[in-house]
Amino acid sequence: MKAGVHADLDFEDVKKLKILNGIAVIYIFFNLIVSIWSFILHTPYLAVFNYSIAGSMVILILLNAYRHYLAAKFLFFFIITLHILSVSLFFDFGAGYYFFPLIILAGFLIGKKFWLYFYFATIALLFILSESHVFDAYQIFVDPEFSRV
């Protein structure tokens, strides 16, 4: 996907931009499939969540097309982190372990060390939160027999 690729970018930035756009397109495709499947399974709240993620990825591609590269990267990592965190907190599938490949991807795509360290610290905190079950959203929102006594 070449949205946002311009002649004034160097080869490395073009490569990063194409990877980010490609991941966004794949994310859009799979979120639309999951959204349709969610409507079939009569879980419209999950479909709305996935549609909003797909819409955010479309906005990401538009940000790249209008040369707002840093904003697009922040939106990408915010949306992916929110998605992994919500799956990890609500469904207890061990999705928190997907944070670690995300850190590697962030190291490749984010060139500024301060933001990379900030993102790493945020991911580490969210991983600890999701795996320690301090906030067990599945039991609070889904399990009818759960009580905080």
Half-sphere exposure of 41 (CA within 13 A, CB side): 10
| pLDDT on residue 149 | 46
With the C-alpha atoms ordered 45, 48, 50, 53, is the resulting torsion angle positive or negative?
negative
- Ranges of the chain with pLDDT below 50: 148-149
Closest alpha carbon to 105 in 25, 16, 18, 1: 16
Confidence (pTM): 0.71
| pLDDT on residue 59 | 92
Chain segment 10-21, per-residue pLDDT in tens: 887 788 888 888
Crossing angle of helices 44-65 and 11-40, rounded to 10°: 160
